[in-house]
Amino acid sequence: MFADRVLSGMRPTGRMHIGHYHGALKNWVKLQEEYECLYFAADWHALTTHFDASETVAESVWEMIIDWLAAGINPSRATIFIQSRVPEHAELALLLGMITPVGWLERVPTYKEQQQKIADRDLSNFGFLGYPVMQGADILIYRANMVPVGEDQVSHVELVREIARRFNHIYGREAGFEDKAKAAVKKLGAKKARRYGELRTAYQERGDAEALEAAREMLNDTQNLSLGDRERLFGYLEGSRRVILPEP
């Protein structure tokens, strides 16, 4: 559930150029050999700025994917897909939008910068303001913990972390959480349960980040846990709530 997983996408708004290769594709090719990778054509994202040119977006999707293959993206090593073919992206974006304060979105540095930079298009729409929420849905739906982005997108990923934290705070509350978490610890087996307890104590009492990471790795390697128990154990490491959406 929380194993190393990479997710990244590109907006199909026209022909690709050498900048796409050096800025992203070259890195994607390398990452696919090291991690589980998901690469997608972000056609819904393209509509935030090109809503009046949907034909161009639809045509560009396939041209872009062909270029990915030519650049070395291997379908046997990475998952390639089109965003709009997975409607759950839009569903989760809607749900995340319910808990995301408008002020958070208005403070994203790229929001006003892009409005000024792309002056020839009307960007005063909800879709453009809510772009980071849709981006959050793209990442969080797959529980991706690694998101390669350009410098201009770093603030978006930071916002996604805040959204995930807020979602877990609101919906991770559970009656009898501690008792259920302790019962889940026992399912690890005596040796792992003892190690989990030691690492949890090291993190909570001394703030040992390495202990937290070691505990997470141990849980990732444990196969006999249900989804609910896994969420509880990740949450129990740090506090008193389930981690439903891990922060990227």
Domain boundaries, the chain: 5-170, 174-238
Domain 5-170 indexed as CATH 3.40.50.620: yes
Interval 143-198: pLDDT, tens: 998 999 877 788 889 999 999 999 998 998 888 999 999 999 999 999 999 999 99
pLDDT of the residue at 1: 45
pLDDT of the residue at 2: 52
pLDDT of the residue at 16: 82
Q: Which of 124, 116, 182, 142 is nearest to 36 (CA)?
A: 142
pLDDT of the residue at 229: 92
Residues in the chain predicted with pLDDT less than 70, given as ranges, are 1-3, 112-122
- Model-level pTM? 0.80
The answer to whether the beta carbons of residues 79 and 37 sit under 8 Å apart is: yes
| Torsion angles phi and psi, residue 38, rounded to 5 | -125, 120
Distance set, CA 106 to CA 109, 114, 212, 217, 234 (Å): 8, 12, 33, 36, 32
